[in-house]
Chains A and B, each alone.
Chain A
Amino acid sequence: MRVDFYEKIWMWLAGALIVLFVGAILYTVAVQAVEPPSHIETIDPTTVRADPRFSDPGVTTAADGSQQVVVVSQMFAFLPVEARVTAGVPVTFRLTSADVIHGFQIVGTNANAMVVPGYVSQFTVTFDEPGEYLIVCNEYCGLGHHLMHGRLIVEEAGVSHE
């Protein structure tokens, strides 16, 4: 197939650009272990609060300082509505829904998960900046969708959060 000289150059450049993009992503996978969230764990959505994994929503701290935040999403609030965590430590969020699909985004960070009934979402973030963050539900869940929000308060290390 005869291809115009300049178009040939263009196609090679386009191919190189795509290889560059894909290479950059592969690098982050291989070297930095950056992958899309992909937690695989199921749960009965009709008995979420009775399930030991979600009967006690809130923040717990492990012996090594890392933290876990358990959140139940439902129309139209997050449980707990406010969570306090410590800056600089790995914080693992575990989320599920008691009804429809919700979103969970900590505005100003890349913590952005789908919360799907029947499944547990899980991801780990380390917050460098103390402060107050808005948490929004960003997946349409009904007429109260825009009212569904929470608060994440990131405290400096050393501050008590009992």
Chain B
Amino acid sequence: MNSERYRLSYANFTVAVLAFFVGACMAVMQALSRADLPLPLRSERIYYLSMTAHGVLMAIVFTTFFIMGLGYVFARTTLGRDTVHERLGWTSFWIAVVGTVLTTGAILSGSSSVLYTFYPPLQAHPTFYIGAALIVIGSWFWCWVMIRAYRLWRRDNAAAAIPLAMHGMLTTVIVWILATVGIAIEVVVMLIPWSLGITSTIDPVLARTFFWWFGHPLVYFWLLPAYAVWYTVLPRIAGGKLFSDRLARMVFVMFILLSTPVGFHHQFADPGIAAGWKLVHTFTTFAILFPSMVTAFTVIASLEVAGRMRGGKGLFKWVGKLPWEDPLVSCVLLAMLTFAVGGWGGSINAAYAMNAMVHNTAWIQGHFHLTVGTAVALTFMGTSYWLLPRMTGRALHFKAAAQVQPFLWVIGMLLFAVVNHITGMMGMPRRVYDFSYAGSDIAARWGEWTTASAVGGVILFVSAMMYVLVVVGTVLWGKKIEAPPIEYAEPLEAGEPVPSVWDRMGMWTVAAAVLVLLAYAYPIWNLLSMERFGSPGFSPF
């Protein structure tokens, strides 16, 4: 049994799946609330509490722990198991777990219904912020383990190209470190002292600026491991090769550079920040479209190679020849297709004039459920199905459920997301317990649509439970088999991979740090040198 080899990964994945399960239960409560059903627990207090829990558990806990677990798998299998420092890894895990328990406890107690963005002057209980800080600190230990593993490997492999899966994971680590500087400043320097009463006021625009310094690269922290799976696992499982190893590395490097200096596109409507800086971040945001478009081509081309190697002929028949019955393949293919829709929505969000029409409307939750909620989450589910037999030496239990679940997810998600895009364009706000607005006409028109999104939410919940069932069932009752090997896609081009400028992670990190400074130093200095008046805290929940 491989559990000894993968215990660190196992532990992290366990927390991830547990967080996903609880987060999904929170979500269905909100979906049913949207349908205006008079359920026993339905109240404003529970709604906003569950919304906070859902956001934190899904977008911070599930994702971070899954990515840490995946990082250990990539490091062990591409760089060698001895490079992974066990003690530091467990330190990372337990610090992050303590943080998770603190923050989740604070939320469930009802003292911290500040939503996952926790914008001050809304003030949560101090343990909410302390827990968040610990999750980040725990993840920094993981970053250290990943970088150390790479450097140990590099000592023995001075001239080799970084194995691509690890290249993607290192990119993830670098983006995360650059991002978490921002959230660490907000949480440790501003929020914790303020929530403890050590400082009495806080500047909300400054806080938001640090939050979104973190909040946008956060989405690439989520996305890049998914891309690593699309590039290095999917082509292998589909029976093909990676169309361009070199371009994949270029894509990862572009994300290192561009993930962070874009945050003002989340603050287009904020006062206190000059239009010029919002414009600069608009351009960097549009630039970041490019690596995703390259990814679309490279991954689809890799799949075409696979489809044709499996006998597909003609312009599109190769699509049908792909092994859709393999849950990893179906999850990732559906995730990619959905991401295309979400990505276009993102382009609209990036254009500030159009953004004004959708800012803080239901459109926004439609958008991010397509991207993190499907492109990332569904990929992670597929990755779970791929890893479970390989890590546990057990065949997937309830395999039929694993095959159906991704399709159910996409059906539920399209229903949920498309409807929210529509009602968002009609002006329906996001994050609202009830939207009747004293019987207003426009609100009645939103109501014609929201039942459909609630149905989508219920379908998503069923799919989510199927995923959890497969995971738990496999671990407990899966038929013992010889664990298949963990293998990665080979490049199509003979002689690849070859070390190139795209492997020079140190250089790219420095360049990225310079870009972050250029994007943020002056606007933040500007804010700090204005006469500003801070706000006391409020806890209206």
Contact between A143 and B540 (Cβ–Cβ < 8 Å)?
yes
| Interface status of B524 (Cβ within 8 A of chain A) | no
Per the 8 Å Cβ criterion, residues 91-116 of A in contact with B are 99-101, 103, 105, 107-108, 110-114, 116
Contact between B532 and A118 (Cβ–Cβ < 8 Å)?
yes
| Interface status of B11 (Cβ within 8 A of chain A) | no
Contact between B275 and A36 (Cβ–Cβ < 8 Å)?
yes
Contact of B359 among A46, A112, A117 (CB under 8 A): A112
Contact between B204 and A101 (Cβ–Cβ < 8 Å)?
yes
Contact between B437 and A101 (Cβ–Cβ < 8 Å)?
no
Contact between B274 and A40 (Cβ–Cβ < 8 Å)?
yes
By the criterion of a CB under 8 Å from any partner CB, how many residues of chain B are at the interface? 75
**A128-155 contact mask (Cβ, 8 Å, vs B): 1 or 0:** 0000001011111111111101000000
CA A136 to CA B500, docked complex, whole Å: 53
| Interface status of B5 (Cβ within 8 A of chain A) | no
Residues of B within 8 A of A100 (CB): 119, 121-122, 535, 538, 540
Contact between A38 and B275 (Cβ–Cβ < 8 Å)?
yes
| Interface status of B541 (Cβ within 8 A of chain A) | yes
Per the 8 Å Cβ criterion, residues 466-519 of B in contact with A are 493, 500
Contact of A110 among B119, B356, B541 (CB under 8 A): B356
| Interface status of B360 (Cβ within 8 A of chain A) | yes
Contact of B493 among A2, A28, A35 (CB under 8 A): A2
| Interface status of A4 (Cβ within 8 A of chain B) | yes
| Interface status of A1 (Cβ within 8 A of chain B) | yes
| Interface status of B86 (Cβ within 8 A of chain A) | no
Contact between B279 and A29 (Cβ–Cβ < 8 Å)?
yes
Contact between A138 and B275 (Cβ–Cβ < 8 Å)?
no
CA A101 to CA B204, docked complex, whole Å: 8
**B211-239 contact mask (Cβ, 8 Å, vs A): 1 or 0:** 00000000000000000000000000000
Residues of B within 8 A of A101 (CB): 119, 121-122, 204
| Interface status of B160 (Cβ within 8 A of chain A) | no
Residues of B within 8 A of A157 (CB): none
Contact of A4 among B119, B243, B286 (CB under 8 A): B243
CA A28 to CA B353, docked complex, whole Å: 9
Contact of A117 among B204, B275, B286 (CB under 8 A): B204
State which of A18-26, A60-68, A82-90 sits at the interface with chain B: A18-26
Residues of B within 8 A of A112 (CB): 269, 356-357, 359-360
Contact between B115 and A35 (Cβ–Cβ < 8 Å)?
no
Contact between A40 and B360 (Cβ–Cβ < 8 Å)?
no
Residues of B within 8 A of A117 (CB): 121, 204, 535
| Interface status of B401 (Cβ within 8 A of chain A) | no
Contact between A38 and B290 (Cβ–Cβ < 8 Å)?
no
Contact of B293 among A1, A14, A147 (CB under 8 A): A14
Per the 8 Å Cβ criterion, residues 348-369 of B in contact with A are 351-353, 355-357, 359-361
Contact between A146 and B435 (Cβ–Cβ < 8 Å)?
yes
Per the 8 Å Cβ criterion, residues 273-299 of B in contact with A are 273-276, 278-279, 282-283, 286-287, 289-290, 293-294, 297-298
| Interface status of A120 (Cβ within 8 A of chain B) | yes
Residues of A within 8 A of B434 (CB): 146-147
Contact between A44 and B533 (Cβ–Cβ < 8 Å)?
yes
Residues of A within 8 A of B94 (CB): none
With known contacts A38-B278, A116-B272, A45–B533 Cβ distance under 8 A = yes
26 inter-chain pairs at a CB distance below 8 angstroms, sorted by A residue, are A1-B247, A4-B243, A4-B301, A10-B297, A11-B290, A11-B294, A11-B297, A17-B289, A25-B352, A25-B353, A35-B278, A35-B352, A37-B271, A38-B276, A40-B273, A46-B533, A100-B122, A100-B535, A101-B121, A103-B429, A111-B356, A122-B271, A134-B427, A140-B431, A143-B433, A149-B440
Give chain A's interface residues, CB within 8 Å of chain B. 1-4, 6-7, 10-11, 14-15, 17-18, 21-22, 25, 28-29, 34-46, 75, 99-101, 103, 105, 107-108, 110-114, 116-122, 134, 136-147, 149
Query: Which 8 interchain pairs have the tightest Cβ spacing?
Result: A142-B540, A107-B427, A138-B360, A38-B275, A138-B429, A14-B293, A146-B432, A119-B271
Give chain B's interface residues, CB within 8 Å of chain A. 44-45, 48, 113, 115, 119, 121-122, 203-205, 243-244, 246-247, 250, 267-276, 278-279, 282-283, 286-287, 289-290, 293-294, 297-298, 301, 347, 351-353, 355-357, 359-361, 426-427, 429-435, 437-438, 440, 442-443, 493, 500, 530-536, 538, 540-541
